[in-house]
Amino acid sequence: MHDIRAIRENPEAFDAAVARRGDAPVASDILALDEARRAKILASETAQAEQNKAAKAIGAAKAAGNDAEFNRLREEVAAKKSEVAQMQAEAKELDQQLTDMLAGIPNLAYDDVPQGDDENDNLELHRWGTPRAFDFAPKEHFELDGVKPGMDFETAAKLSGSRFVVLSGAIARIHRALAQFMLDTHTEENGLQETWTPVLVREEMMYGTGQLPKFGEDSYQTREGWWLVPTAEVPLTNIVNNETVDEATLPRRYVAHTQCFRSEAGSAGRDTSGMLRQHQFEKVEMVSITRPGESRDELDRMTKCAEGILERLNLPYRTIVLCTGDMGFGARRTHDIEVWLPGQNTYREISSVSACGDFQARRMNARFKPSDGGKPQFVHTLNGSGLAVGRCLIAVLENGQQADGSVDLPEALHPYLRGKTRLAADGTLV
């Protein structure tokens, strides 16, 4: 959500920032609607004052025995009452139109975000690790002999349809170990607070983080009206929904491991093989709630937290900053981390870390009370994967694969597998 006062003060700057996101100027339309709303509010307040004045005069007319004036004033009050109700309803409608218009405009990019139209204009920040040189043709994860017994797409299709998977045996255990490793690292080394949240949320929670109303088709809604979360960003960020927290409690740094659900609308034909793009998947999600002046540094901190997981797993990756045309709706700056997948011979996204400024906070009405007693201010929010568990499983399997179909597993996972170090070609842990 955008600040209408900032748009009034500098509409040219707002349009210039909107143009960086590839959208047409909107400030004049916003201000016209805002002016009509304010005029209607003023008119209703004026009519209300006239109604109150006439109501007071009724008593005086009655006391003076002036029946004609009494009846005239009573009719005037009744007319004014109807007029005020009509004007208030019109003002409320205009206010909702303005809110809807502001809610449909994407967040404004920070000045240091590169200008661009799409993913081809993203800027690489750095790389870590050297992709392994194989002496055989590396396979994709679902093609490995050791993986096939524990990764069943046919049964999943029978149960639920396409873009689902049933994991079992050693593969399910490695998947679980990855999630536990991520949680332990984030809580014990990165200072995040482990949090367990619902995966069914109310509609206003989806609105608060920007999934609604514009992107409803990307998620699933139950008959009862709840929404299945596309990521734990939704419940974690909304912990401060409609709250005014003490400044001393900031920053708040949360981490949660949850199931996530996405319809994958618009992705027909993309990544149909394997478990790279699923309707149901797991993520370890990080969310930070900060003071305004700290959010840019917090973005870098969270990025390092996610990168550190890959480094501990010895998985080569690269980090890029998304250009203005490729950023998500609610972001002011986004760092994507892409892990190397030898089976595809390319880097693929495994984490996206975004700073949202006060964009979500305005939608949620989430503020903090300054320690010096000043006026409450909107918090800043950030979110990022730390990491996508399924995609991390893919990376571990493909980067550790051997010619015989077995997989050497990262040392960091050995304690979580009770000392097992390898996925054998027959699908067992040894």
| 417 and 174 Cβ atoms separated by less than 8 Å | yes
Cα–Cα distance measured from residue 105 to residue 101, given in angstroms and rounded to the nearest whole number:
7
Q: Does 350 count as an annotated binding residue?
A: yes
Residue 167 belongs to what H/E stretch? strand 166-167
**Residue 93 scores a pLDDT above 80:** yes
pLDDT at position 380: 98
Closest CA relative to residue 353, chosen from 367, 324, 380, 332: 332
**Residue 395 scores a pLDDT above 90:** yes
Q: Which candidate in 352, 363, 367, 406 is catalytic?
A: 352
Q: Which candidate in 50, 76, 83, 349 is catalytic?
A: 349
pLDDT band at residue 192 using 50, 70 and 90 as cut-offs = very high
Tell how far CA 127 is from the center of its chain: 25
Q: Does 394 count as an annotated binding residue?
A: no
pLDDT at position 198: 97
pLDDT at position 285: 98
Q: Does 263 count as an annotated binding residue?
A: yes
Q: Does 294 count as an annotated binding residue?
A: no
pLDDT band at residue 75 using 50, 70 and 90 as cut-offs = confident
Tokens linked to 146:
């050791």
Q: Which candidate in 391, 398, 406, 422 is catalytic?
A: 391
- Pairing assessment for the beta strands 193-194 and 252-261 based on DSSP bridges: parallel
Read off the DSSP letter of residue 211: -
Q: Does 231 count as an annotated binding residue?
A: yes
Residue 82 belongs to what H/E stretch? helix 67-103
Please say if 391 is a catalytic residue: yes
Cα–Cα distance measured from residue 9 to residue 218, given in angstroms and rounded to the nearest whole number:
35
Q: Which candidate in 20, 21, 277, 348 is catalytic?
A: 277
Q: What are phi and psi of 333, to 5 degrees?
A: -160, 140
pLDDT at position 160: 97
Alpha carbon of 359 to those of 7, 178, 194, 296, 349: distances in Å? 14, 32, 25, 14, 24
Mean pLDDT confidence for 312-335: 98
Please say if 252 is a catalytic residue: no
Residue with tokens 């805002």: 34
The percent of residues in the chain predicted with pLDDT above 90, rounded, is 86
| 138 and 272 Cβ atoms separated by less than 8 Å | no
Cα–Cα distance measured from residue 112 to residue 5, given in angstroms and rounded to the nearest whole number:
24
13-39 pLDDT, tens per residue?
999 999 999 999 999 999 999 999 999
**Residue 376 scores a pLDDT above 90:** yes
E strands present in 217-366? 220-221, 227-228, 244-246, 252-261, 280-290, 317-321, 333-341, 346-355
**Residue 118 scores a pLDDT above 90:** yes
Cα–Cα distance measured from residue 198 to residue 218, given in angstroms and rounded to the nearest whole number:
19
User: 19-27: long-range contacts at Cβ-Cβ below 8 A with a sequence spacing of 24 or more?
Assistant: 20/108, 20/109, 20/113, 20/115, 20/324, 21/106, 21/108, 21/109, 21/324, 21/325, 21/327, 22/117, 22/324, 22/325, 23/105, 23/106, 26/101, 26/105
pLDDT at position 202: 98
pLDDT at position 74: 75
Q: Does 371 count as an annotated binding residue?
A: no
pLDDT at position 11: 97
pLDDT at position 396: 98
pLDDT band at residue 244 using 50, 70 and 90 as cut-offs = very high
Query: DSSP characters for 365-417?
Result: T-EEE-TTS---EE-EEEEEEEEEHHHHHHHHHHHTB-TTS-EEPPGGGGGGG
pLDDT at position 413: 98
Choosing among 1.10.287.40, 3.90.220.20, 3.30.1490.20, 3.40.50.2300, the CATH entry for 4-103 is 1.10.287.40
Please say if 352 is a catalytic residue: yes
Please say if 277 is a catalytic residue: yes
Angle among Cα 167, 262, 298 to the nearest 5 degrees reads 100
pLDDT at position 66: 77
Q: Which candidate in 262, 301, 332, 363 is catalytic?
A: 262
Same fold, 4-103 and 119-423: no
3-state secondary structure of 275: coil
Domain made up of 119-423: CATH architecture: 2-Layer Sandwich (3.30)
pLDDT band at residue 273 using 50, 70 and 90 as cut-offs = confident
Q: Does 10 count as an annotated binding residue?
A: no
Cα–Cα distance measured from residue 247 to residue 161, given in angstroms and rounded to the nearest whole number:
48
Please say if 270 is a catalytic residue: no
Tokens linked to 404:
């015989």
**Which sequence spans correspond to the domains of the chain?**
4-103, 119-423
Tokens linked to 65:
């025995």
**Residue 113 scores a pLDDT above 90:** yes
Arithmetic mean of pLDDT over the chain: 95
**Residue 150 scores a pLDDT above 90:** yes
Read off the DSSP letter of residue 66: -
Q: Which carries the bigger pLDDT value, residue 11 or residue 44?
A: 11
Cα–Cα distance measured from residue 350 to residue 328, given in angstroms and rounded to the nearest whole number:
15
Angle among Cα 161, 429, 162 to the nearest 5 degrees reads 5
Q: Does 311 count as an annotated binding residue?
A: no
Residue with tokens 């892409």: 338
